[in-house]
Amino acid sequence: MTVSVPLWPAVLGRFGWQDLPFVRAWENPTISEIIGAFAGALVVVGAVVVAALLTRYGKWRYLWTQWLTSLDHKKIGIMYIVVAFVMLSRALVEAVLMRMQQAVAINNPGFLSPDHFGQLFSTHGSIMIFFMAMPFLTGMINYVLPLQIGARDMAFPWANSIALWLTIGAAGLMMTSLVVGEFSTGGWSGYPPYTERAFSPGVGVDYWIWAVTLGSIGSTMAGINIACTVYKLRAPGMRFMRMPMFAWTSLCTSILMIFAMPPLTVATLLLALDRYLGFHFFTNDLGGNMMNYANMFWLFGHPEVYILILPAFGVYSEVVSTFSTKDLYGYTSLVIATMAIAVLSFTVWVHHFFTMGQSANVNAAFGIATMTIGVPTGVKIYDWIWTMFRGEVRFTVPMLYAIAFMMTFVLGGFTGIILAMPPLDYLVHNTLFLVAHFHNMLIPGLLYGMLAGYHYWFPKAFGFRLDERWGRIAFTCWVVGFYLAFFPLYVLGASGMARRTQAIFEPSFRPWLYVAGVGAFILLAALTSLGIQLWVSIRDRAATRVEAGDPWDGRGLEWSISAPPPEYNFAVLPQVDGRNPFYDHKHDEGQPDPYASPASYTDIVVPRGSATSVVIGVAAAVAAFGLVWAIWGLTIVALQVIVAAVVVRSFGRDQHRTIPAAEIARAHEAWLARVRVTRAIPRQLETAAVNRGLAEIVR
């Protein structure tokens, strides 16, 4: 590794010219350094191109006023998901590079240096967990939850925006590490003592610490907001046992976020104290104990698994019920199973370090708890199967993802039972078997769920459907690529191939690594297909508009309003009298017409946009950048800016605006008039061009 000489320590801290990947590639033009320089150049060029396009089309003001400073939960949710897709693109490319390196590095050094390979698996894991999965699920909850429970917005719109911008700032730090400096080689879990200053003196671990810290604070704020929204803003008549399953899983996810994210924040801050001020919380000497870090990290880490999976379970419940044309089977058991998973998720964290020396009794207790948590998950699978049984199942793209999840997740669950047994876990813990299991649960669990929700609610968010043909192509690539990329890792792991390995010395591993490499490229093709699908859908949006708002014959309140919804969501807050209020009103004799004009309209108060949340998020990222590079003046100024933004917001008086009842009435009546002239279509034609968002009523 090239040693960087500080350029101007008084002003630029630890920064030196060798901290730029372009300089390193110029001085040492190896393939590894050139790849790093190319990645940094992509970030710079991408930012310049976006800025140039916004300037060329005069969209800066529109972007600032309508999106970046908006406190509308729907726009905040969409921005979260945009961040998730951007970070998914980077992390997936890194995964392909790692698979290619392992495929060619059999008794061969390959094209990536060990240090570069270490950075890749650290960024890949960190991005996928903290900056792809968390923004994706938080964005999905942000968009859908208030619509499902009949609320106008989240409980704390300004805090909601701050949480978003802290996440964006943290993701920005991850991207900055490509251009200035390097990233950690300590993995996504950042275990000390390797991540202590003595073993990792560079800036990589500091980038990881502050990115994860900002992200965890943002997620804690999001969790509090989601919980308060469910507790306090449900529509009249919406009792807890009338909430949609996605709302239930969102609530349990938020509780996990509230209690699981703080241990991670504490762990990263204590590690920062070790590195910056010479404390000894996790060192090998002077009273330090690395196991304290392991316990705090996994006290977050295992609930985090269910933070990721529970919203996907909620999506599958909505999708399976809608596209099976049946009420959700076993609703009460699904609610109880969701709560059981949330509670049990805090009882199993020690299984992540069965190999680290605790007693056999402790290992046995946590092994039993780990097996037990599979029971409520099995309840969910059976309930979804019974929902489909004798239903009118329509194999749309969201439904295909749900079915693929059920098949693949069960296979991964079997390997989870194996890993729950401490003796077996001891044998395969540090092998690719564990990597295969982890991806076997998270990809079909989280990613398929989020993609199902993305396809399912996209028409509601934008007023037109996604292209079905390209959606099926992407689905096929995701499923085939997944099986090819990860099932060979079970064989490799059982054969003894260690994880995090930059070079391999066993020729018999070669065929399996080649198959895994092909699978990685097919997964990259899946992501590319999603991009093509979005472009084709936007191009052909005139033919797939669903302004009436109900393209799938939906069951919940979110389908009872226009697509896209107005800023205030509901012209009049709904009165809920059942578990599927909108569906029942459409299909049951004697129920009120869901498209009838309300008796009266009233003024609606909505929050004004605020620049202070943007300032806080950006300033937090700048302060973290200053801490990474020891640019203390920059950090102090950025922290002062954060305080100033909070003060300005605290003294602000004009933070809301009122939408007059007459304006609401005009917009709502105009939409109802369009609904009345829209042709209702049967479910068999829901993916055809004739679907304008109005389902045929069958009574």
- Do 403 and 477 have their domain in common? yes
Task: Name the burial class of residue 123, with classes exposed (0-12), middle (13-18) and buried (19+) by CB atoms within 10 angstroms of its CB.
Answer: buried
- Do 21 and 116 have their domain in common? no
Residue 401 is predicted with a pLDDT of 97
H or E stretch at 605: strand 604-607
List all residues 6 or more positions away from 511 whose beta carbon is below 8 Å from its beta carbon.
none
- Do 23 and 99 have their domain in common? no
- Whether 263 contacts 297, CB under 8 Å: yes
pLDDT top residue among 165 and 592: 165
Q: Per-residue pLDDT tens for 651-695?
A: 988 899 999 999 999 999 999 999 999 999 998 899 999 999 998
- 591 is a domain residue: yes
pLDDT band at 10 (very low <50, low <70, confident <90, very high): confident
- 644 is a domain residue: no
- Do 477 and 568 have their domain in common? no
Residue 2 has pLDDT above 80, yes or no: no
Q: Per-residue pLDDT tens for 498-544?
A: 999 999 999 999 999 999 999 999 999 999 999 999 999 999 999 99
Please state, in angstroms and rounded to a whole number, the distance separating the CA atoms of residues 320 and 331.
Answer: 13
pLDDT band at 587 (very low <50, low <70, confident <90, very high): confident
- Do 375 and 426 have their domain in common? yes
Residue 184 is predicted with a pLDDT of 95
Residue 4 has pLDDT above 90, yes or no: no
Please state, in angstroms and rounded to a whole number, the distance separating the CA atoms of residues 207 and 156.
Answer: 30
List all residues 6 or more positions away from 29 whose beta carbon is below 8 Å from its beta carbon.
none
Residue 642 is predicted with a pLDDT of 98
**What's the distance, CA 297 to chain centroid?**
19
The conformational region for residue 341 under phi > 0 = left, psi -120 to 50 = alpha, else beta, is alpha
Nearest to 418 by CA among 496, 494, 365: 494
Mean pLDDT for 203-214 is 97
- Do 179 and 35 have their domain in common? no
Question: Which tokens hold the place of 229?
Answer: 């929204």
Please state, in angstroms and rounded to a whole number, the distance separating the CA atoms of residues 316 and 474.
Answer: 18
Question: Which tokens hold the place of 255?
Answer: 């509780």
Q: Where are the alpha helices (DSSP H) in 68-156?
A: 73-104, 114-126, 134-148
Among candidate residues 511, 545, 579, the one where a domain is terminated: 545
Among candidate residues 545, 568, 597, the one where a domain is terminated: 545
- Do 42 and 67 have their domain in common? no
- Do 235 and 90 have their domain in common? yes
> Cα–Cα distances in Å, from 224 out to 153, 155, 257, 267, 549?
14, 9, 8, 20, 30
pLDDT top residue among 698 and 487: 487
Residue 574 is predicted with a pLDDT of 94
Q: Per-residue pLDDT tens for 361-384?
A: 998 999 999 899 889 999 999 999
pLDDT band at 699 (very low <50, low <70, confident <90, very high): low
- Do 168 and 306 have their domain in common? yes
Give the residue numbers spanning the domain of 53: 9-58
Residue 302 has pLDDT above 70, yes or no: yes
Nearest to 514 by CA among 101, 111, 109: 101
Residue 209 is predicted with a pLDDT of 98
Residue 321 has pLDDT above 90, yes or no: yes
Q: What is the CATH number of the domain that holds 406?
A: 1.20.210.10
- Do 283 and 353 have their domain in common? yes
State the average pLDDT for the chain.
94
Among candidate residues 506, 524, 545, the one where a domain is terminated: 545
- 190 is a domain residue: yes
The position carrying tokens 């609606």 is 604
- 187 is a domain residue: yes
H or E stretch at 607: strand 604-607
- Do 38 and 125 have their domain in common? no
List all residues 6 or more positions away from 583 whose beta carbon is below 8 Å from its beta carbon.
553, 554, 555, 556
Task: With both helix axes pointing from N to C terminus, report the angle between 204-232 and 157-179 in degrees, rounded to the nearest 10.
Answer: 160
β-bridge mates for residue 431, sequence order: 498
Mean pLDDT for 138-154 is 97
Residue 630 is predicted with a pLDDT of 95
- 434 is a domain residue: yes
- 624 is a domain residue: no
Mean pLDDT for 42-55 is 95
Residue 11 is predicted with a pLDDT of 85
- 239 is a domain residue: yes
Total domain count, the chain: 3
- Do 131 and 183 have their domain in common? yes
Q: Are strands 604-607 and 656-659 parallel, antiparallel or unpaired?
A: antiparallel
* Secondary structure (3-state) at 584: helix
Q: Per-residue pLDDT tens for 251-289?
A: 999 999 999 999 999 999 999 999 999 999 999 888 899
Please state, in angstroms and rounded to a whole number, the distance separating the CA atoms of residues 552 and 563.
Answer: 12
pLDDT band at 3 (very low <50, low <70, confident <90, very high): low
Question: Which tokens hold the place of 600?
Answer: 């009266």
Mean pLDDT for 56-72 is 96
* Secondary structure (3-state) at 545: strand
- 645 is a domain residue: no
User: What value, to the nearest 5°, has the Cα angle with vertex 638 and ends 609 and 165?
Assistant: 35
Please state, in angstroms and rounded to a whole number, the distance separating the CA atoms of residues 537 and 533.
Answer: 6
pLDDT band at 619 (very low <50, low <70, confident <90, very high): very high
